[in-house]
Structure 1
Amino acid sequence: MTAPNLRNRYLQDSIQTASPAKLLIMLYDRLVLDLGQGEEALRAGDLETAHEKITHAQEIVIELQVSLDVEAWSGAPGLANLYGYLITELIGANIAKSPERVAVCRGFVEPLRDAWRDAAAAAVAG
């Protein structure tokens, strides 16, 4: 088996065996990565890479939005609204080729990722 095949198998196994909390954190980690790389690509003038990264970030936010149970807790409707805002901003950033708008989105996402990570760690420790 080749190295890329082994890597893909490892990733698939990691995803299939991850807890819901771990999957959420994995999505947020990838979202932050995509936003950072998209912003960097825009600043470098690499519009093709920027489009790819920002579009992937949009797909992740859409997945987070559709999988959110807005009845599960009182903060869920606000989070759903934030996801809607992020999608709108990312579309606008991609059209306008605005690294600043991508940075603003990343500024919202990073603290959320950290909060989910802390919550998951507290649940395991608790």
Structure 2
Amino acid sequence: MTYASVRSRYLDDTVATASPATLLTMLYDRLVLDLRRAEAAQRSGDRSAANGQLTHAQAIVSELISTLDVTAWDGARQLMSVYTFLLAELVQANISGDAERTAACRSLVEPLGEAWHQAADQLAAGATLEPAGSVPAGIGVARGELGVG
């Protein structure tokens, strides 16, 4: 077995056994990574690399859109609006090659990712999810879920 096949198998197993909360935070982590890489590629003039990263970021946001249950909690509809805005911005950042637009997308995604990490940690600890600190209002969810499914 090669390193690549072992790594791929490990990642497949990790995703297959992850909870919805863990999957959500994994998506956000990868989205931030894609945006950092895309921004760096745009700043260095490597449009091909930036395109690959931004296309992957768009796929992640599309997945977030398709799995968001807008009836699960009060803030879900607003989060859907953020996702649709973000998707449109990522497309425009890719078309224009605008590193500043990509950076703006990243600055929108990072605090959301941090909030979801906090919510997932609280959920894993069996705590009631309450909006607090840097967690945006509406992140507290009913039914012990993170509004994904």
| Other-structure match for 1:124 | 124
Letter in 2 for 1:116: W
| Other-structure match for 1:100 | 100
In the TM superposition, structure 1's runs of 4+ consecutive aligned residues that sit over 3 Å from their partners are: none
Q: Where does 1:1-126 land on structure 2 (aligned, <5 Å)?
A: 1-125=1-125, 126=127
Please give the alpha-carbon distance, in whole angstroms, between the structure 1 residues aligned to 2:67 and 2:5: 29
Please give the alpha-carbon distance, in whole angstroms, between the structure 2 residues aligned to 1:123 and 1:72: 15
Higher helix fraction: Structure 1 or Structure 2? Answer: 1
**Percent identical across equivalent pairs?**
53
Letter in 2 for 1:98: D
Residues 43-95 of structure 1: per-residue CA shift (max 9 Å, x gap): 00011000000011001001101110101111000000000100110111111
Please give the alpha-carbon distance, in whole angstroms, between the structure 2 residues aligned to 1:23 and 1:95: 29
Letter in 2 for 1:23: L
Please give the alpha-carbon distance, in whole angstroms, between the structure 2 residues aligned to 1:124 and 1:4: 31
Under a length normalisation based on structure 2, what TM-score does the superposition of the two structures give?
A: 0.83
Letter in 1 for 2:66: V
Residues 10-56 of structure 1: per-residue CA shift (max 9 Å, x gap): 00000001010000000000000000000000000011000000011
Point out where structure 2 has 5 or more consecutive residues left out of the alignment: 128-149
Please give the alpha-carbon distance, in whole angstroms, between the structure 1 residues aligned to 2:14 and 2:124: 18
Please give the alpha-carbon distance, in whole angstroms, between the structure 1 residues aligned to 2:39 and 2:77: 28
Letter in 2 for 1:100: E
Deviation (angstroms), 1:124:
1.6
Under a length normalisation based on structure 1, what TM-score does the superposition of the two structures give?
A: 0.98
Deviation (angstroms), 1:123:
1.3
